[in-house]
Amino acid sequence: MVPHSTPIPDHESTRPSAPPDHRNPLPPPSTMRPPRGNALIGQSGGPTAVINQSLVGLVEECLASEEIQNVYGALNGIEGIMDERLVNLGLEEPRVLQRVAETPCAALGSVRHKPTLEDCERLLEVMKAHDVRYFFYIGGNDSAETAHLLNQVAVDSGYDLRLFHVPKTIDNDLRETDHCPGYGSAAKFVAQAVAGDNEDNRSLGGVKIDVIMGRNAGWLTAAAALARCGEGEGPHLIYLPEVDFEWDAFLGDVSDVMERHGRCVIAASEGIHDPDGELISRPAEIDAFGNAQLSGSGSLGDILRERVKAGLGNGTRVRADTFGYLQRSFFGCVSEQDATEARAVGHAAVRTAVCGERPHGSAIIERCDEDGSYRPAYGCVDLELVARHTKDLPTEFLDGTHDVSEAFLAYVRPLVGPLPAAGRLARYPVPRRL
Q: Which parts of 321-350 interact with a second copy (CB under 8 A)?
A: 321-326, 328-333
In this structure, what DSSP letter does residue 427 have?
Answer: -
Binding letters toward a second copy, positions 179-218, x by CB under 8 A: -------------xx-xxx-xx-xxxx--x----------
In this structure, what DSSP letter does residue 378 have?
Answer: E
- The smaller minimum CB distance to a second copy, of residues 103 and 340, is found at 103
Q: Which parts of 38-67 interact with a second copy (CB under 8 A)?
A: 43, 46-47, 52
Q: Residue 270: helix, strand or coil by DSSP?
A: coil
Among 34, 42, 214, 301, binds a second copy (CB under 8 A): 301
Helix or strand run (H / E) with residue 241: none
Helix or strand run (H / E) with residue 206: strand 206-212
- In 3D, which of 91, 61, 132 has the Cα closest to residue 355? 61
Q: Is residue 346 within 8 Å of residue 378, measured between CB atoms?
A: no
- The smaller minimum CB distance to a second copy, of residues 203 and 395, is found at 203
Binding letters toward a second copy, positions 106-135, x by CB under 8 A: xxxxxxx------------xx--xx-----
E strands, 52-178, are 68-74, 86-88, 132-139, 162-167
What is the rounded distance in angstroms from the CA atom of residue 399 to the CA atom of residue 270? 19
- The smaller minimum CB distance to a second copy, of residues 1 and 326, is found at 326
Binding flag, residue 143, a second copy (CB under 8 A): no
Q: Which parts of 236-255 interact with a second copy (CB under 8 A)?
A: none
Strand 132-139, strand 162-167: pairing? parallel
Binding letters toward a second copy, positions 6-45, x by CB under 8 A: -x--x--x-----------------------------x--
Among 1, 26, 32, 105, binds a second copy (CB under 8 A): 105
CA dihedral (256, 259, 261, 265) positive or negative: positive
Q: How far is the CB of 158 from a second copy (least distance, A)?
A: 20
Q: Catalytic: 253?
A: no
Q: Which parts of 261-280 interact with a second copy (CB under 8 A)?
A: none
In the Cβ-directed half-sphere of 211, how many Cα atoms lie within 13 Å? 24
Catalytic residue, from 171, 173, 253, 338: name it: 171
Catalytic residue annotation:
171
